[in-house]
Amino acid sequence: MKLTRASSYAIHAVAYMAQVKEKDKPIASHTIAKERGIPERFLLKVLKPLVSEGVLKSIKGPNGGYRMSKKAEDVSLLDIVQAVDGPIRGQAPLSEENKKNPLDTKLQSVCNLAAESLKAALKKVKVSELIKR
């Protein structure tokens, strides 16, 4: 598996917010970007779907920013990756000649199993485990 840059940035951002002592105080995106070395424009693009999926909460206003909407032990890598990159699916390209090719059916089945295995592995890893020292 290879994480996309967007997923990697999202994981870093969520991990940073999970480590902050004052959990209820919002953190400005520029602070997260600076602390984690992430371009702020890109960071804003990955924070939006995390808010939409309920991983983070966005607070508007002059003292606004982002904060965790769930406890770190309740957020998995699967939650973050799928929020940013969309659902993980098995995809085997089908042969052009024959859409009912038995090999294509078997390959699709293998890809589906691999996707389910990956999802199970990512679901097991919680943000709280990533930030333990």
Q: Convert the pLDDT of each residue in 60-117 to its tens digit.
A: 988 899 999 999 999 999 999 999 999 999 888 776 666 677 888 888 899 999 999 9
Q: Convert the pLDDT of each residue in 16-50 to its tens digit.
A: 999 988 778 899 999 999 999 999 999 999 999 99
Q: Closest by alpha carbon to 126, among 88, 85, 71, 53?
A: 71
pTM of the model: 0.88
Taking the domain 5-87+126-130, which CATH number applies? 1.10.10.10
What are the strands, taking DSSP E only, across the chain? 56-59, 65-68
Specify the pLDDT at position 23. 73
Tell me the domain boundaries of the chain. 5-87+126-130
